[in-house]
């Protein structure tokens, strides 16, 4: 069943979200602080039975100089630097197994999958990057960790890590730094959208059912996690509602969309009860670069799944292999 607006209403919908006045100063200061630490990427080959793809364990210094782990995959047969795709994974997942996620490397790209710090305990393969920063009281899950102050909020660290991941892949001798794109689904789509708003000169971007967009609306119209973590937190802390949404103003995908200019593909399932489609359309309408969106009428949070990827992959090939 439809969980949100129908398609004609989605095309008309515009979010009322307004970011904080110091949004740009907050993020420029955060990234300047992170860049005070040497990026120091290290690339270690991983032995696998794969014949056409090489796998490397890449580590770099993220927020606070903390080590962030990634898988970097590349075609074995290559001549010279290649275009790269940086991918961010879904909520509570991790970078997974070295044999996972072979699509982009099989299509001829260098492919980096960043491990989201502190997550990765919910799925096979899991994650390998701890979050050494503590936080105050939170609802079970990750979404409310440090949420009463934007400087302490967990996604400040995650989004900073993600920007540094693009910087790390651009330093790799395997990669042409001028031909890098970002992709992600759900939480990964929200992270990719933040990166698109924070990193200049990206070649392409793909956001499937992006999380953390139009967040206040999302909490009011969905009864599914992870947004229910916010509702649970605020049900117990009734006097913190405005404080919490003031923090979230620095992390909402609408604000990043207003600052992004890479050619972008969005997708949404009209039956998505996790990330309601109006929140994806809110980000899409705010996006300042060239953009397309696909609404999958009878799909939920998969937002078209592999069929959606089949639309985007040739577009990435054209943009990243031949340049914008």
- Choosing from 115, 161, 252, 272, the catalytic residue is 272
Q: How many CB atoms lie within 10 A of CB 69?
A: 20
Tell me, yes or no, if 285 is annotated catalytic.
no
Helix, strand, or coil (residue 90): coil
Q: First-to-last CA distance in the chain? A: 39
Q: What residues contact 228, with CB distance under 8 A and at least 6 apart? A: 222
Q: Cα separation of 11 and 189, whole Å? A: 20
Tell me, yes or no, if 301 is annotated catalytic.
yes
CB 313 within 8 A of CB 248: no
Q: Cα separation of 210 and 293, whole Å? A: 12
User: How far are the Cα atoms of 22, 137, 152, 196, 294 from residue 149, in angstroms, in the given order?
Assistant: 14, 12, 5, 24, 35
- Choosing from 186, 206, 267, 308, the catalytic residue is 186
CB 82 within 8 A of CB 170: no
Q: Cα separation of 213 and 284, whole Å? A: 10
Tell me, yes or no, if 308 is annotated catalytic.
no
- Choosing from 15, 139, 301, 308, the catalytic residue is 301
Given phi > 0 = left and psi -120 to 50 = alpha, else beta, which region is 199? beta
Omega of the bond prior to 226 within 30 degrees of 0, cis?
yes
φ and ψ at 305, to 5 degrees? 50, -130
User: How far are the Cα atoms of 104, 164, 307 from residue 64, in angstroms, in the given order?
Assistant: 30, 11, 39
CB 186 within 8 A of CB 208: yes
Q: Cα separation of 83 and 177, whole Å? A: 8
Q: Cα separation of 190 and 213, whole Å? A: 7
Catalytic site positions: 186, 272, 301
């Amino acid at each position: 069943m439809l969980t949100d607006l129908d398609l004609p209403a989605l095309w008309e919908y515009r979010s009322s979200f307004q970011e904080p006045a110091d949004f740009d100063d907050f993020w420029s200061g955060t990234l300047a602080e992170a860049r005070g630490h040497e990026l120091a990427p290290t690339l270690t080959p991983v032995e696998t039975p794969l014949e056409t793809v090489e796998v490397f364990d890449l580590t770099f210094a993220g927020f606070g100089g903390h080590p962030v782990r990634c898988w970097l995959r590349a075609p074995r047969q290559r001549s010279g630097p290649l275009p790269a795709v940086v991918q961010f994974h879904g909520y509570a997942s991790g970078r997974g197994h070295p044999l996972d996620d072979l699509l982009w490397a099989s299509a001829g790209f260098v492919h980096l999958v960043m491990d989201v710090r502190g997550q990765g305990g919910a799925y096979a393969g899991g994650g390998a990057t701890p979050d050494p920063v503590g936080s105050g009281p939170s609802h079970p899950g990750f979404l409310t960790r440090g949420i009463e102050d934007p400087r302490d909020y967990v996604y400040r660290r995650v989004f900073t890590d993600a920007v540094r991941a693009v910087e790390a892949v651009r330093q790799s001798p395997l990669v042409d730094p001028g031909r890098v794109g970002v992709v992600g689904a759900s939480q990964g789509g929200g992270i990719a959208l933040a990166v698109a708003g924070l990193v200049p000169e990206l070649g392409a971007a793909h956001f499937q059912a992006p999380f953390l967009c139009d967040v206040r609306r999302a909490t009011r119209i969905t009864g599914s996690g992870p947004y229910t973590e916010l509702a649970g937190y605020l049900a117990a802390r009734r006097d913190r509602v405005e404080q919490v949404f003031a923090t979230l103003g620095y992390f909402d995908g609408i604000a990043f969309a207003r600052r992004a200019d890479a050619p972008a593909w969005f997708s949404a399932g009209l039956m998505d009860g996790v990330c309601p489609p109006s929140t994806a359309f809110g980000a899409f309408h705010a996006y300042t670069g060239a953009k397309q969106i696909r609404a999958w009428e009878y799909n939920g949070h998969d937002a078209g799944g592999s069929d959606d990827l089949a639309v985007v992959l040739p577009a990435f090939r054209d943009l990243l292999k031949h340049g914008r």
